[in-house]
Amino acid sequence: MDYLYPSTPIYVEDLLAWKEFARVKIGSGDALLVRTGRWAKRDAEGPWAYNRGGAGLHASVLPRLRERDVAILVGDAVNDVQPSGVEGINRPIHRLTQVNLGLPLVDNG
């Protein structure tokens, strides 16, 4: 597919399925690049309020990122699914990776 629809969460199962499909391993020191197709969607359908509906990682992937000791997380947006689905925290990926895991982020928003 060219892009994920707004508010589509990416779960651990999705990352594992892609890992199998692409025949890659995610390990210590690796950069994880996540493409949701945000800009392809904008080109196809026009702009929208991304902060009210953007595809991205669900907070439940955080333990897997820690287990795999990912060194840097890169996304074509803000990395977090919008809305986050976590009560009281708008961007848990941002908050917990940088503060709790010491995992740097690159957002291409």
The domain segmentation of the chain, as residue ranges, is: 9-107
Distances (CA, A) of 45 to 10, 39, 78: 21, 10, 20
Summarize the confidence of residues 25-45 as an average pLDDT: 94
Check pLDDT > 80 for residue 109.
no
CA dihedral 94, 66, 26, 77 (to 10 degrees): -10
Check pLDDT > 80 for residue 34.
yes
- What local confidence, expressed as pLDDT, does residue 44 receive? 95
- What local confidence, expressed as pLDDT, does residue 60 receive? 96
